[in-house]
Structure 1
Amino acid sequence: MKRIFLTLLTSLSFVYIYAQSPRSFNSRLESVTVYSIGAELNHKAKISLPAGTSEIILNDMANNIDESSIQVGVPSSVTILSTSFSRDFLRNENKSPAYIKVEDSLQIIKRELNKVQNKRVVEENLLVLLDKNQAIGGVNTGVNVAELIKIADYYKNKQLELRNNIFSLKEAEDVQQKRIARMQQQLQELSLDKTGTTGQIVLQVMATEPSNADFNISYLSPNAAWLAFYDLRAENTSSPLKIVYKANVTQSTGLDWKKVKLSLSTGNPSQNGTAPLLSAWFLQFGEPAYAYQQQKQMYQNRIQSMETRAPMDKKDLEEQPIINALQGQVAGVQVQAPVSVQQNENMLNASFDIEIPYDIASNSKPHSVTLKEFSQPANFKYYSVPKIEADAFLMAEITNYDKLNLLPGEANIIFENSYVGKSFINPNATTDTLNLSMGRDKKITIKREKVAEQTGIKFIGNSKKQTFTYEIRLRNGKKEAVNLLLKDQYPVSTDKDMEVELLAADGAVINKETGVLTWKLSLKAGATETIRISYAIKYPKDKNIVNL
């Protein structure tokens, strides 16, 4: 009876320990939804559960998780009591490929250093032995002169050989030691990179009965993002504009996404979704807030610098001097995905489902994927401000662009099957028309020159009158007619002693407030046209205008 009781007690203790000890399970990444900032990762795991309470460790999770976003789907017989997250720094497979490569090279160099050190020790011992034999031979034995000369030559040559070998081996040791120090420093730097470190989700669960349960785990990780970029293609100015919608996806979650179902969403789950409220604004006297004014000015400067990158809308085309083409390539792995991507829309954002399983390494490098292609009707026209740039810029004007769900991003421009440069798409314009820059067209020649005989200074009493005349010559070298929006300007006075008179504008639309002159021209194939502008400034002769 006593033996039965002890056996039962032992069994119960084993069951208790088995139930209380945390058990580890690997998970499989099934799908990922990437947002503009962050990503939702969805895993599956097969878990064997005993009846009662258990602690479960789920491996192969992202290295950075928003714990409040963790959701676990389990059968009805299982209850989740608690969830927590931790990083797993101990698993050897978490070492990055770069770390492993340097670590292996370090071991090889250390072995080579050991061989060099062994050779040096042997040479130094031989030198000690040689010195001892030299002393014994010289003190305890008598030798004649001829033998003494032979012995002296032998010792001299042998010592010289050994000392030179020792010197060379010490030099080799110094080189290896420096290499080892550099590699150890590199390993230390690589060890700070935790992109190869995965995470763990620890669950406290309670099961009503033993079972093999399927767990579905989802969570948000901030270490992923995607940016939109585009290819703008046009065969000629009479064909529709093809817009190829692409994405650069980056991630450093610590997990290599292998054969996962990928979706890209225009939403941002990390953004605060609470609507703002206004409270009463009470004024009070005080000292001027100099720091606030500085910050306000910095903010305004930043906004202005951002606005210069955006494409022009209709108002911009009337007032802005020129489009600045953006330079530089987008680095990264270029991967072509199916173009017929399913696009889903709801009231807040749009998402794109990639049809094929996708691979994206956890290395923070951009991976390119094509999302969708549009063939959009466009009105093509040319735009030029020869005072600043003696080139004509092709503009594509499109309407009803809201349905395209475009995001701000760079665009590669391919016109007439040739790459012509970069532009920037800003769909956040407030107008119903979006103007896209298609780059420069060198077949339209534009030259602006000062007409010397009609430019000069005249003195009238206490005043001087300065006259400027410019001639703009245009030539359409294309095989078809083009519409060209041409702009120039004359100065605007800011002082009552300064009088500005526009003498000639050749039929331009004049904006007297800004001094901008606009011509809407239609140039036939091979045609040339000349436009003249002339203006005069009268001001006191004892003054100078610094920016004239």
Structure 2
Amino acid sequence: MRATVPFLCLVIAMPLGAAAEDIALTSRVAAVTLYPQGARVVREVPFDVPAGQHDLVLVDLPQDTDLATLRAEVSGAEMGSVTTRRTAQPPRSETQSAAIEAAREEVERREDALRAARADIARLRLAVDAAEAQTAFLGQLGQGEGIAAQDVATLREMAEMIGQQTLAAREAAHDAARAAEIAERGLEDLEEALAEARQALAALVPEEEDRAMLAVTITAAEPSTGTLAVTYQTWNAGWAPVYDMSLARETGLLTIERGAYVRQQTGENWQDVALSLSTQRPSGQTRPSEIGPLLRRIGPPEPQLRKEALGAAMDSMAMSEAAPSWQDAPIVETASAEFDGLSVSYDYAPPVSVASGADALRIALGTLETEATIEARAVPLYDSNAFLMAEFTNDTGELILPGETHFYLGESYVGQTMGDLIPAGAKSEASFGPIDGLTLMRTVLDREEGGSGLIRKSNDLDETARIEIENLTAEAWPVRLLDRVPYSEQEDLQIDWQAEPRPDEVDVEDQTGVLAWDFEMAPGETRRLRIDYSMQWPEEQELR
């Protein structure tokens, strides 16, 4: 028999009714579906009940459980009402696992050891004080008024006694001080051991705050065994993709090791849970934005104001007048579009344990491989060296999500960046650092600006740039060099340009004026390129 309550029935703040037998249960987190922000948590607990009506009571839900999203499901009995409570819980019995008990005993043992060590140090310090007091006393024995009346033999015996006793007292003080110093150094190890034991205990039992409570009424026609499953959302958890991209230059093989950083601050530890990762974003925008009507108006032109009289207040007023009347429409702050429209999930096979509030746990999600085309990318306008680039198509059949990406050239670590979304079948590229032996230099050889003719009616600017690239490495490189020339969208601003040699591609990636040259460079080879451009515009205008 299986029953489900699809909605939270009742939230109360009064004691539970006593008509049914209360059966206290201790639940555990069995499965978690993590979103980039938030998680769906499933708790399961078996039960054995005699025939009749009973209340299954869970008092170990986290205090910040989103009770509005809580759903309960029962197998093995007929399910009735569901009651939740966040405060004023009935008392619950504390069940301690063997691991928790052992951890607490270890903390107590190390606390006792630390106290005993500190007591030993205190006793050694007392011995030092006693020896020093004895030395001081012996030093005063020879200063009494009756010493002069003693005979020589007595004085000799007294001097020997004082000397021997003083030496013994000083040796005792020295030994006790030395032992105390050694013991104090040992305190550090004991303190570290105690801190580790307390940390281990805290990892097992991190939460001390109150818990939320759930009570489910069930009816069993006969003694039954079943399972209570509770599902709810929490926003104190999430995951983020992470990648290691490794390029083999000899073969062009690009290896992408996928992983995920998992985190949670729910106030309880997840121990051996079944973990799934989803790209859905229930915490983000879940419906399209609404659009309202657009009212435009016409009217007489506004009077022109002197610029110096146009202050911030007048600016604000003018903008208000010119603004269309769509302010009444709701303004929706858009969520990050990195995952919108995607529904990818990853099931992590082995059970996972994640401590609450601990550092992010990294898990592996498998490895992808693809072939990359390698080139040296040269941008002499900004860089003094070319960079190693790997261009590839995501032919893995899987989506590569945005995330922290670390780059390796063979076994050497290159650096990291935040990677972009790469859909299946899309083209992309990755950079694997500078090539120190491919040097770049861009020099402006000539730049002239002035008027033309005796009667100046126009302005002009001429510029010549020389680009030099040198291969100082011992191998050949395919090079793609990028530069640019200015462009104009105004009829009065005339721009002419030429390059030697002519570029292989103009307006690269639909960027007007961006030029590209593709060529092979042999070891030790040097290449030079030249770019000339001229601009002309009316005298009454200025170049911007």
Answer whether TM exceeds 0.5 for this pair: yes
Contact 1:88 1:197 in 2 (8 A): no
How many angstroms apart in 1 are the aligned matches of 2:290 and 2:541?
A: 52
CA deviation after TM superposition for structure 1 residue 533, in Å: 0.8
Name 2:506's counterpart in structure 1: 510
1:533-548 to structure 2, matched below 5 A, reads 533-539=531-537, 544-545=542-543, 547=544
Pair 297,491 (structure 1): closer, same or farther in 2 beyond 3 Å: farther
What percentage of aligned pairs have identical amino acids? 27
Structure 1 residue runs without a partner (length 5+): 1-15, 94-100, 102-192, 308-346
CA deviation after TM superposition for structure 1 residue 299, in Å: 8.0
Name 1:132's counterpart in structure 2: none
CA deviation after TM superposition for structure 1 residue 531, in Å: 1.0
CA deviation after TM superposition for structure 1 residue 243, in Å: 0.4
1:201-280 to structure 2, matched below 5 A, reads 201-236=214-249, 238-269=251-282
User: Which segment is superposed worse, 485-494 or 49-58?
Assistant: 49-58
CA deviation after TM superposition for structure 1 residue 296, in Å: 12
Contact 2:370 2:394 in 1 (8 A): no
Among 527, 530, 542, the alignment partner of 2:528 is: 530
SS in 1 for 2:397: helix
How many angstroms apart in 2 are the aligned matches of 1:27 and 1:297?
A: 43
SS in 1 for 2:432: strand
1:373-412 to structure 2, matched below 5 A, reads 373-401=367-395, 403-412=397-406
Amino acid at match of 1:46: P
SS in 2 for 1:442: strand
CA deviation after TM superposition for structure 1 residue 25, in Å: 1.8
Contact 1:423 1:437 in 2 (8 A): no
Structure 1 position 58 matched with structure 2 position 58: yes
How many angstroms apart in 1 are the aligned matches of 2:222 and 2:88?
A: 30
Name 1:470's counterpart in structure 2: 465
Contact 2:390 2:430 in 1 (8 A): yes
Contact 2:372 2:391 in 1 (8 A): yes
Among 517, 520, 525, the alignment partner of 1:519 is: 517
Pair 477,67 (structure 1): closer, same or farther in 2 beyond 3 Å: farther
1:62-73 to structure 2, matched below 5 A, reads 62-67=62-67, 69-73=69-73
Name 2:122's counterpart in structure 1: none
How many angstroms apart in 2 are the aligned matches of 1:538 and 1:241?
A: 49
Amino acid at match of 1:250: R
1:91-122 alpha-carbon deviations (Å, 9 max, x no partner):
899xxxxxxx9xxxxxxxxxxxxxxxxxxxxx
1:62-115 alpha-carbon deviations (Å, 9 max, x no partner):
44444454444433433242253536899899xxxxxxx9xxxxxxxxxxxxxx
1:112-511 to structure 2, matched below 5 A, reads 198-236=211-249, 238-269=251-282, 283-285=294-296, 288-289=322-323, 349-363=343-357, 365-401=359-395, 403-428=397-422, 432-451=426-445, 454-457=446-449, 459-461=451-453, 462=456, 463-508=458-503, 509-511=505-507
1:312-355 alpha-carbon deviations (Å, 9 max, x no partner):
xxxxxxxxxxxxxxxxxxxxxxxxxxxxxxxxxxx973333333
How many angstroms apart in 2 are the aligned matches of 1:488 and 1:526?
A: 23
Contact 1:484 1:521 in 2 (8 A): yes
TM-score (norm. length: structure 1)? 0.60
How many angstroms apart in 1 are the aligned matches of 2:433 and 2:210?
A: 45
Q: Aligned residues, how many?
A: 389
1:393-444 alpha-carbon deviations (Å, 9 max, x no partner):
3332222446222211121111132222223322256973122333333332
Name 2:35's counterpart in structure 1: 35
Pair 379,18 (structure 1): closer, same or farther in 2 beyond 3 Å: same
Contact 1:77 1:209 in 2 (8 A): no
CA deviation after TM superposition for structure 1 residue 458, in Å: 5.7
User: Which segment is superposed worse, 486-495 or 509-518?
Assistant: 509-518
How many angstroms apart in 1 are the aligned matches of 2:330 and 2:447?
A: 44
CA deviation after TM superposition for structure 1 residue 256, in Å: 0.8
Amino acid at match of 2:248: E
1:476-528 alpha-carbon deviations (Å, 9 max, x no partner):
34443322222111222355443322143421133398222221222223322
Pair 26,298 (structure 1): closer, same or farther in 2 beyond 3 Å: closer
Pair 513,477 (structure 1): closer, same or farther in 2 beyond 3 Å: closer
Pair 423,34 (structure 1): closer, same or farther in 2 beyond 3 Å: same
Amino acid at match of 1:209: E
Amino acid at match of 1:255: E
Structure 2 residue runs without a partner (length 5+): 1-15, 95-106, 108-205, 298-320
Pair 22,526 (structure 1): closer, same or farther in 2 beyond 3 Å: farther
Contact 2:440 2:468 in 1 (8 A): yes
SS in 1 for 2:365: strand
CA deviation after TM superposition for structure 1 residue 258, in Å: 1.9
Pair 79,37 (structure 1): closer, same or farther in 2 beyond 3 Å: same
1:442-490 alpha-carbon deviations (Å, 9 max, x no partner):
3321121222xx4334642114543211111112344433222221112
Contact 1:25 1:56 in 2 (8 A): yes
Pair 77,455 (structure 1): closer, same or farther in 2 beyond 3 Å: closer
How many angstroms apart in 2 are the aligned matches of 1:288 and 1:69?
A: 46
CA deviation after TM superposition for structure 1 residue 362, in Å: 1.0
1:6-48 alpha-carbon deviations (Å, 9 max, x no partner):
xxxxxxxxxx986546443211222322222322223222334
CA deviation after TM superposition for structure 1 residue 195, in Å: 9.8
Pair 437,278 (structure 1): closer, same or farther in 2 beyond 3 Å: same
C-alpha RMSD of the superposition: 4.2
Amino acid at match of 2:496: E
CA deviation after TM superposition for structure 1 residue 234, in Å: 1.0
User: Which segment is superposed worse, 402-411 or 202-211?
Assistant: 202-211
Pair 33,277 (structure 1): closer, same or farther in 2 beyond 3 Å: closer
Pair 234,503 (structure 1): closer, same or farther in 2 beyond 3 Å: closer
Name 1:137's counterpart in structure 2: none
How many angstroms apart in 1 are the aligned matches of 2:435 and 2:380?
A: 13
How many angstroms apart in 2 are the aligned matches of 1:476 and 1:241?
A: 25
Pair 542,484 (structure 1): closer, same or farther in 2 beyond 3 Å: same
Contact 2:406 2:415 in 1 (8 A): yes
Amino acid at match of 2:432: M
SS in 1 for 2:86: strand
Contact 2:394 2:424 in 1 (8 A): no
Pair 85,518 (structure 1): closer, same or farther in 2 beyond 3 Å: farther
Amino acid at match of 1:30: A
How many angstroms apart in 2 are the aligned matches of 1:373 and 1:388?
A: 35
Contact 2:408 2:414 in 1 (8 A): yes
Amino acid at match of 1:439: G
